Amino acid sequence: MSNFLTSSTLPLTTLATFCRSLGTMLHSGVNILKAFQVAGGKSTYPRLKQISEEIVDELRKGSDVSTAMSNQGEAFPELMVDMVRVADQTGSLPEVLHALAEHYDNLVRLRRTFLSAIAFPILQLVAAIFIVALLIWILGMIASNSGDKPFDVLGLGLTGTLGALTWLGGCFGTALAGLFLYLFLVRGLKGRTFVHSALLRIPVIGGCLRSFAMARFSWAFALTQQAGMSINPSLESSLKATGNGAFAAVTPMVTAMITEGEDLSFALDATHLFPRDYLELVRVGEATGTVPETLERLSPQLEDQARRSLSAMTAVLAWVIWGMVASVIIFFIFRIALMYIGLLNDAGKM
């Protein structure tokens, strides 16, 4: 899924607070060395204090802000470093930092919305898994005490303590394996491209991811253009800012078409990732020379659309989980009913 569920080395909440504090002090005329010292020093995240001290040391040696930040490994997102680099050149660092703070705050809100919506259905699923394990264990203990053959409630040969542990290990092991496989695949661009391209084709989930990607692209492109970044680096940063491998993978094609003199709307249309109504708005912006302003006005609307898509996706996921829980309950009802019918038939033959 979209990286609004993940973050850089620094947590999103820490990044938002740091950007806002730093931007406010710089806007008020505080010396940049003092601003980094204060913004990092008052952070509750210990790693940021050390990073801020290292940045101040590099600034004193003559490095610019973006270079000092990029030398901190993966502590800061690439988009933030790119934006700070342009802001250094144009003198708009306070404004860019405030915009980044709003961006990271929005990502935090979206993450919380998703997690709060999906938490209860997942809790129900986990509870159902443990109830099944408890049932396997109890039936095995009853059979062991009575000397009868244990009833295999799942029909998988799982009975008693070993069966319950096998069931738990299989369920949670499969979930963890799936998570690790996803994280492994999305570490590289090729893997992200494959996974995200596949997710974009799934109804509801694909619409949600596309909305997020377009909202981030619009925000980043408007901000980078207004900050004075040239068109190709702006497109590279904006497509990377989507957090979606399918969008990031088309960067070479889009920048090559722009270099050859093609219109932005035509280059974006060639990716087959942007819907027709979005491309029409970009085309109108090109005709009037107001593409950054058009996308800046469009970005909040796309964010609202992304929130609605997220609500729809979480609702679908919740129903899927509830359906799985209901299926487990119905399955056990029929299995136990069939067991008792079998016992009654055996008793009737005696």
Q: Do 196 and 245 form a contact (C-beta atoms < 8 A)?
A: yes
Task: Please tell me the total count of domains within the chain.
Answer: 1
Asked if residue 5 has pLDDT above 50, the reply is: no
3-class secondary structure for 102-127? HHHHHHHHHHHHHHHHHHHHHHHHHH
Q: What is the pLDDT of residue 350?
A: 55
pLDDT tens digit sequence for 198-212: 988 988 788 888 888
* Cα 226 from Cα 290, distance rounded (Å): 11
Q: What is the pLDDT of residue 274?
A: 93
In a domain, 149, yes or no: no
Q: What is the pLDDT of residue 270?
A: 94
Contacts of 221 (CB under 8 A, 6+ apart): 234, 235, 238, 291, 292, 295
Residue range 28-48: average pLDDT?
A: 87
The CATH number linked to 85 is 1.20.81.30
- Nearest partner of 251 among 287, 293, 226, 220, judged by Cα: 220
Amino acid at 181: L
Q: What is the pLDDT of residue 116?
A: 81
pLDDT tens digit sequence for 89-112: 777 788 888 888 888 888 888 788
Dihedral over Cα of 220, 225, 226, 228: its sign:
positive
pLDDT band at 2, cuts 50/70/90?
very low
* Cα 267 from Cα 263, distance rounded (Å): 6
Q: What is the pLDDT of residue 7?
A: 43
Q: Does the model's pTM come out above 0.75?
A: no
Contacts of 85 (CB under 8 A, 6+ apart): 64, 66
Contacts of 69 (CB under 8 A, 6+ apart): 55, 75, 76, 80, 81, 84
Asked if residue 190 has pLDDT above 60, the reply is: yes
* Cα 199 from Cα 339, distance rounded (Å): 42
More confident residue, 74 or 285: 285
In a domain, 217, yes or no: no
Percent of the chain past pLDDT 90, that is, above it, reads 17
State residue 188 phi and psi, 5-degree precision.
-110, 160
pLDDT tens digit sequence for 244-288: 889 999 999 999 999 999 999 999 999 999 999 999 999 999 999
In a domain, 141, yes or no: no
Residue range 66-72: average pLDDT?
A: 87
Task: Characterize 13-37 residue by residue with b for buried, 16 or more Cβ atoms within 10 angstroms of its Cβ, and e for exposed.
Answer: bbbbbbbbbbbbbbeeebeeeebbb
* Cα 86 from Cα 64, distance rounded (Å): 11
Q: Do 151 and 136 form a contact (C-beta atoms < 8 A)?
A: no
In a domain, 172, yes or no: no
Enumerate long-range contacts of 193-197, CB under 8 Å, 24 or more apart.
Answer: 193/245, 193/246, 193/248, 193/249, 194/245, 195/245, 196/244, 196/245, 196/246, 196/247, 197/245, 197/246
Residue range 120-137: average pLDDT?
A: 84
Q: Do 325 and 126 form a contact (C-beta atoms < 8 A)?
A: no
Which residue range is the domain that position 86 belongs to?
Answer: 3-104
Asked if residue 124 has pLDDT above 60, the reply is: yes
- Nearest partner of 16 among 88, 82, 59, 76, judged by Cα: 76
Residue range 214-221: average pLDDT?
A: 86
Count, residues in the chain: 350
* Cα 175 from Cα 192, distance rounded (Å): 20
Structure tokens, 294? 């058009």
Angle between helices 205-226 and 78-90 (to 10 degrees): 20
In a domain, 109, yes or no: no
Q: Which residue matches tokens 């997102």?
A: 77
For residue 267, count other CB atoms closer than 10 A to its CB: 20
Average pLDDT, the chain: 83
In a domain, 308, yes or no: no
Q: What is the pLDDT of residue 266?
A: 93
Q: Do 152 and 159 form a contact (C-beta atoms < 8 A)?
A: yes
In a domain, 145, yes or no: no
Q: Do 232 and 259 form a contact (C-beta atoms < 8 A)?
A: yes
- Region for residue 261 given its phi and psi (left: phi exceeds 0; alpha: psi -120 to 50; beta: otherwise): left
